[in-house]
Each structure stands twice: as structure tokens, then as C-alpha cells.
Amino acid sequence: MSQSTSPLFPQTFLWGGATAANQIEGAYQDGGKGLSIQDVTPRGIMSDRVEKPTPDNLKNIGIDFYHRYAEDIALFAEMGFTVFRFSMAWSRIFPNGDEETPNEEGLAFYDRVLDELEKYGIEPLVTLSHYETPLHLAEQYNGWVNRDMIGFFERYARTVLERYHTRVKHWLTFNEINSVLHIPFGSGAINTPTADLEPNDLYQAIHHELVASARVTRLAHEINPALKVGCMVIAMPIYPLTPHPDDAIKVMNADHANLMFSDVHVRGYYPGYAQRFFRDNNITMTITDQDREDLKNTVDFVSFSYYMSICDSADPRARQGGAGNIMGGVPNPTLQASEWGWQIDPQGLRVVLNQFWDRWQKPLFIVENGLGARDELTPDGDTFTVHDDYRIDYLNDHLVQVAQALDDGVDIMGYTAWGCIDLVSASTAQMSKRYGFIYVDRNDDGSGTLKRYRKKSFHWYADVIRTRGASLSR
């Protein structure tokens, strides 16, 4: 391992962290907020929904960002963040989702968050919809299966775009839009149980989301031509388990299933392979001429989450007991995994950065990456800290690969580490699956003071940002 003294990242590169409203804010019924689909998935977005919100849902309080945002943003500033990714909770602004007018108290909260970011010169990166659609839209309309959702989403987006267009330049429409294939309720607010969901309805929902995203992209540009709108997808390189050509074809098809979303976002139409998939599977959707026109409003940049790569195989036996992430997949025998079964592959990040750049020639933004791990709080003088060398190693090795991709000529706008402050996990709704540079004293049983502590990685990340990567070990 060595270090060089010259920066590996350009001056314009944005550095920061990423979060989502439902995983940090808490205050789930304060300030006129309506319920979101998160309030009925206390065991995480991959589990079944329950009938009513439950008191033991950790997201009810989250990490209390709703009340502690100023303290948290000050800590981000101390690390030198130049960007902070967060989502606006749709149900804080339109509590049911289908109202005519917004809830002013909800907007006032985001005014305050933006004031605080501006104080430190931290640029906001706002996700409009991060797995937190108003529950009423799921129950009353069956979520994105219903075409009316396009109008509801547009009204919400117009409200925040008009209010914040001079304060927020970078926007993302749907978080990990391609996850709807795997978690129709969590991602698409589709109330029909997954086992009963017809492929026609699923793809109609996907189509509505893609149209809504494109219409909002146009709207943003109309409101302020300086705005930049990105899509957001799960990036996951898929390697063939063996060199057998059947495995290569399997991987090609799996790649197509994942990449169709960003292909439409970037190209403005369904590629030939998607049309073939619809034909072969008798999927008939309602696509109007106006939809086709709307889809031509393509994104300005592509953002993505990257946690792991997976393998795929044409042999159904190899597919049993896949890796423990949203996408499933076949474990890679050459890689180690986190305690939650997410396989660690820093080079996979360089692979997707190159793949995406080669495919779309659009600027890329890594808006999620990190290691979920258990931390132990230990005394440190008159305070406490966490010696999270495992997290530092993970992030270090991934950032080294980002630098490699920059050398490969890939255009990369920035990097926001996921869960820069500990938050409630999306897939398992645990506090103990921690990602942060900042430890939050809260446990899986809901106990804890909510006090914040700087981990070892806090100081490490501050150095990386200050030296623009020169401090990374290679």
C-alpha cells in the first residue's frame, strides 16, 4: 500500500453523503405529514406490509433528523462535504398524495434544511421519491399501476421545483427505479401482493414511472434551464458464473432487464431488446403517442447506487440460495461478503462506471456506496468513538477504483457515501446495519439517546476530501 501526494480527483468533483427521508427524519406524523408506504413496512422494504403503522417501527423516529438536522449538517460540514443527498418526503408535502394544494408546514421543514446547507456552502442533491410514496396512493390507486400517478407526481414535483429551483440545482426522480422488478410495493407502491401481480400491470407501472420521470425532467428545464435532472438506478455488474456461452446469454438478458430503465431515461425510447421481451412475454401496455413524445425528455446525468456485483448462471441449480440483496443473484465464489451477504467487489465499481459511460456518454454520479456493518462504541478520552477500519478499507478500495475510472476517461460528477450518518436500514429496518461516519446511539429495540459520535472513518473521510484522494491507500 502506498500514498501519493497529488490529488486523484478533479477540483470540480463533488464529495459528500447520502440519505433518504424515511430512514432519517422520524417525526412520521408531525407537521401534517401523511403516512407513507414505509410506515407499514416495519420489517423493511423486502418484507410483507402490515395493516397499520406499528409502534416498534424504527422509522417512526428514525434518527430524529427532523429535529437534529442542524447538528448533523454541521458535522457534514466539518468533514468538508460539498454535496448532501437527501430526499423530500412526498407525504410531508402532499400527505395523501392526491390533494390539490401542498402542506406548507412540510415545505417549511425543507426550507430550514436548505438554509442550513447554504450556511456551509453544501450543495443539495434532492431525490423526489425514495421508497416513500404516500400510503393513500398505494391503497386507493394501486400505486404506479394507475396512470393518475403521473399527474400526482407532477404536481408534487412542480411544487418543489418552483419553490426551490434557485436553491437546488441537481434533482433525481425515482430512487433505484429498476428495483420495482423485485419489490413492487416498496418501490412502485403497488398494493397487489407480488404473487398475484400480473406482468402486464408491473410493466404498465414501470412505463408510468418512466413517463412521469421524463415529464418532470421537461418541467424542471422549463422552470429553470440551469437545472440538472438525473435518473437513479441500482448498478450491479453481473458476471457469468462459468465461461459457458449459455451463461453469457443469461447475463446479457439479466443486464438488459436492469439496464432497460436507464436506457429509456437516457435514449428516450424502449430499445429493441425490450420490445422483444414484451412480445415474447405477451406484455401489452398502453403507450400513447403523447407518452412517446414525453419519453424524449431525456436525463442530464445518470446516478446510481453501487454496493456489490453478482454472478448469473443458466443452470437453475446454481441460482438457489442467491446473494442477500434486492436483486438476488448467484454468489461469486471469489469474493468475500458482508455480514448481510452483500459481496464486496471494488473493481466492480470501475466496471459499471466504464460500462455506463461507454453506453450513454452522460455524466455519472455515484450517489450510494458503502458498507453496512455492526459497530462497537468504545471510550475515547472524554467521548466515544468507533474503530471502523473495515469501513475505511471498503470505502478506500472503492474510491481507488473511482480514481481508476477517471483515468479511464469516465466523466464522474461526484460521490456521496450512503448513510453518511447511521440510519435505519431499508432492506431490514435495523439500526445495527450501520453505514455512517457518524455513530447514532440507537439500537434495534429502539433504545438509545440518539446522541451522535464521530467514528474513525469520520476523520479518514475528511482527509480524503481535503486531499482530493491523495490520502487514499493504494
For the annotated catalytic residues, the residue numbers are 176, 368
Return the residue matching grid coordinates 424504527. 58
CB 258 within 8 A of CB 174: no
Strands (E), 161-217: 170-174
Three-state secondary-structure class, residue 414: strand
Tell me which of 427, 438, 452, 465 binds ligand BGP, using CB under 6 A: 427
Q: How far is the CB of 268 from ligand BGP (least distance, A)?
A: 25
Q: How far is the CB of 60 from ligand BGP (least distance, A)?
A: 17
For position 418 contacting ligand BGP by CB under 6 A, the verdict is yes
For position 116 contacting ligand BGP by CB under 6 A, the verdict is no
Tell me which of 36, 133, 173, 175 binds ligand BGP, using CB under 6 A: 175
Tell me which of 8, 125, 157, 426 binds ligand BGP, using CB under 6 A: 426
CB 80 within 8 A of CB 462: yes
Q: How far is the CB of 259 from ligand BGP (least distance, A)?
A: 17
Tell me which of 20, 149, 180, 330 binds ligand BGP, using CB under 6 A: 20
For position 375 contacting ligand BGP by CB under 6 A, the verdict is no
Taking the CA atoms of residue 342, residue 347, residue 348 and residue 349 in that order, the dihedral angle to the nearest 10 degrees is 100
Element spanning 229, H or E: strand 228-234
- Total number of residues that touch ligand BGP (CB under 6 A): 13
Rg (CA), the chain: 21
Return the residue matching grid coordinates 437513479. 232
Element spanning 154, H or E: helix 148-164
Tell me which of 176, 263, 294, 312 binds ligand BGP, using CB under 6 A: 176
For position 305 contacting ligand BGP by CB under 6 A, the verdict is yes
Q: How far is the CB of 187 from ligand BGP (least distance, A)?
A: 9
Closer to ligand BGP by Cβ: residue 81 or 418: 418
Closer to ligand BGP by Cβ: residue 332 or 425: 425
372 phi, psi to nearest 5 deg = -85, 120
Q: In the structure grid, which three cell numbers stand for residue 94, read together?
A: 402532499
Find the part of the chain contacting ligand BGP (CB under 6 A) among 105-113, 165-173, 392-400, 424-432.
Answer: 424-432
CB 318 within 8 A of CB 330: yes
Closer to ligand BGP by Cβ: residue 23 or 159: 23
Q: Are strands 301-305 and 228-234 parallel, antiparallel or unpaired?
A: parallel
Sequence-distant (6+) residues with CB within 8 A of 78 are: 462
For position 349 contacting ligand BGP by CB under 6 A, the verdict is no
For position 344 contacting ligand BGP by CB under 6 A, the verdict is no
Three-state secondary-structure class, residue 330: strand
CB 450 within 8 A of CB 60: no
Q: Which of 135, 140, 287, 276 is nearest to 206 (CA)?
A: 287
Closer to ligand BGP by Cβ: residue 238 or 326: 326
Closer to ligand BGP by Cβ: residue 95 or 324: 324
For position 416 contacting ligand BGP by CB under 6 A, the verdict is no
Q: How far is the CB of 366 from ligand BGP (least distance, A)?
A: 13
For position 127 contacting ligand BGP by CB under 6 A, the verdict is no
Tell me which of 92, 207, 433, 452 binds ligand BGP, using CB under 6 A: 433
Q: Are strands 170-174 and 83-87 parallel, antiparallel or unpaired?
A: unpaired
For position 230 contacting ligand BGP by CB under 6 A, the verdict is no
Q: How far is the CB of 254 from ligand BGP (least distance, A)?
A: 18
Closer to ligand BGP by Cβ: residue 38 or 298: 38
Three-state secondary-structure class, residue 179: helix
Return the residue matching grid coordinates 398502453. 286
CA 11-14-20 angle, to 5 degrees, is 175
Closer to ligand BGP by Cβ: residue 311 or 424: 424
Closer to ligand BGP by Cβ: residue 20 or 314: 20
> What is the 8-class DSSP label of residue 383?
E
Binding site for ligand BGP (CB under 6 A): 20, 175-176, 305, 326, 368, 372, 418, 425-428, 433
